[in-house]
Amino acid sequence: MTRTNISGGSPYEPLIGFSRAVRVGNFVHLAGTGPVGAESESAEGQTRRAFEIAEKALAEAGAVFADVVRTRMYLTHVEDWQAVGRVHGEIFGAVRPAATMVVAAALLNPAWRIEIEMDAIVDAPTS
């Protein structure tokens, strides 16, 4: 099967050795996506920004939110769960992927309140 690495443009990708997303056949795996550029926003604003970044990477891999089967949300503040959950519900209310929400002591950027991972399955494999 063909493997396609999707870059998010981060200068850390080659240094650390990761891709924003990887597509192999029908499967798309999206790396942990933080709210880059929205560090001073609320948990809701940061969540929306992380989903914007994720949507772009999914599109480059040939997927859309409707193809997502799994999400993992990492929060740094337990009290943010409702705000994060509301945004997740706006996007995935009809799709309802398997979802996990975890409270972590810290994320890579101390200003981030959320980081999101996703897995998707698309109908047609790449050739």
In this structure, what CATH number is given to the domain that contains residue 82?
3.30.1330.40
Tell me if 75 is assigned to some domain.
yes
**Number of structural domains found in the chain:** 1
Residue 4 clears pLDDT 70, i.e. is over it: yes
Query: pLDDT, tens digit, for every residue of 73-98?
Result: 999 999 999 999 999 999 999 999 99
This prediction has a pTM of 0.93
Residue 126 clears pLDDT 60, i.e. is over it: no
Range of the domain at 70: 3-8+18-121
Tell me if 45 is assigned to some domain.
yes
Tell me if 13 is assigned to some domain.
no
Tell me if 85 is assigned to some domain.
yes
Query: pLDDT, tens digit, for every residue of 45-71?
Result: 999 999 999 999 999 999 999 999 999
The per-residue pLDDT for 125 is 59
Average pLDDT over residues 9-29: 93
Tell me if 126 is assigned to some domain.
no
Tell me if 79 is assigned to some domain.
yes
Tell me if 63 is assigned to some domain.
yes
Kindly provide the residue ranges of all beta strands, DSSP E only, lying in 1-127, ordered along the sequence.
3-6, 21-24, 27-33, 68-75, 98-103, 114-121
Tell me if 74 is assigned to some domain.
yes
Paired strand residues for 23: 4, 28
